Homo-oligomer: A and B are copies of this chain.
Amino acid sequence: MTTKSIGVALVGCGTVGGAAAKIIVNDAREIAARTGVELQLLHIVDRSYAHADELGITEAARTSDLAVVCADPKVDVVLELVGGLTVAKSIIEQALRAGKHVVTANKALLAHHGAELLALAAENGVCIGFEASCGGGIPIIRALYDGLAANRIDAIYGIVNGTCNYILTEMIHHGADYPTALAQAQKAGLAEADPSLDVSGVDSAHKIAIMASLAFGVDVEFDSIPVAGIDSLDLKDVLYASRLGYAVKLLAIADRRENGVMLHVRPAFIAKEHPLAWVSGPFNAVSVYGSTTGHTMYYGRGAGGRPTGSAVVADIVSLGLGAIPAVYRGSPALRGATKKAQVIPVSELESRYYLRIMVADSPGALADITGIFGRYGISIASVHQDEPADSDNGGSAAPVPVVVVLHTAREQDVLAARDKINALESTAEVSSVIAIVDEHEEDLS
């Protein structure tokens, strides 16, 4: 058994950086015994060392000058754990140009500039490890480039934001409305004071852009992904979902079609039989549909210092062993040598849909609505209207909620029908249109 020594420089000693540093320092001997790679933390680059001090990490040299790190021949891998779209990019570029491998958890940066950075790495004979960018401690990136290597990947459905999943779980299981559930998530330390990047769906979109680029071997333009978050989700729809046998999840979806790819992020209904419906609290899970394995799913903690640090360290080990370089060598997607994705607009999505419509309690109102669906060639699977709880003696005729489930239809037709319904003379108003995601087809013959 041979042991190889790998020199590591950490840039950004925050939550993830600190956790990665702690694993490297405390578990180096155990990891070396298991894998044959001895990790050595040589430098920490940051503006403040308060967190490093707090963690008792004193082994590494401290510098605010990245050039020192890049000039040190003992440094094999630079960890970019600063995050964000500005300084992080130049840190990575500088390290790659100096011939250092890079490991990063920066999903925003990779979603916007992944192909460019991977190409720069390949040019310089090094690699960028990015397991930590998607799904925290879940080894989903490796599944896509290694474990499922025999598969043409057809679709990815991901629950990849723990904050949103925690909030939705509170809504589903405890009937909390969105503001209450968000406050609860903030109290539990699972949502930032400004939660907009998470709850808007943008963070999930970053991750599906990265996974789809790798899985489909295309360069996904981030701004082409339509994104809807959970911030405007009504508890009423969450409760109707449960009654109808579904769970509402924020899904990041990538689907390969014959003539391109379709990507979107949105709250959707998913049947309670689907394993994604079971994923509760801050956990993440990614379902991958491959041409030879069919459906596989990967589940775990999608955030937090130690889980994300675990992914960072796995990449360092793999770079040290030479496994990542071996795999990246032949893969266009991992060398940034892919073409721009042909994006199919989500208006062409074919799906089942749930609509909640406030309908005037007057004769003919429902007939107007069903008539509109009929004119768009959309079949209705079911209609649910409860008796008003408080059935007063006529007169007021307050609108009542009617829930309509549609058979498979095109999104653009459903939205056009919605607009027509809203234009009906004050008889009806569509409160929600939510796609119902069915199990993806498998052909294992």
Contacts and interface: CB of A to CB of B under 8 A. Distances in A.
Interface of A: 1-4, 19, 23, 27, 30-31, 33-37, 131, 136-139, 142-143, 146-152, 217, 273, 275, 278-280, 290-301, 304, 306-307, 309-314, 317-318, 321-323, 326-327, 329-333, 335, 337, 444-445
25 contacts: A1-B331, A1-B337, A3-B330, A23-B150, A23-B292, A33-B217, A33-B332, A34-B217, A34-B333, A36-B330, A131-B147, A136-B293, A138-B293, A146-B146, A148-B310, A149-B314, A150-B313, A275-B278, A290-B310, A292-B310, A294-B306, A295-B301, A299-B299, A301-B444, A323-B323
A326 B321 contact: yes
A314 B278 contact: no
A217 B148 CA distance: 25
A444 B314 contact: no
Contacts of A337: 1
Query: Within the oligomer, what is the number of copies of this chain?
Result: 2
A3 to B, nearest CB: 7
A contact face: mostly helix, strand, loop, or mixed: mixed
Contact of A146 (B33, B36, B142, B291): B142
Nearest to A147: B139
A150 B314 contact: yes
A317 B36 CA distance: 23
Given A142-B147, A293-B306, A332-B33, A321 B327 contact: yes
A331 B2 CA distance: 9
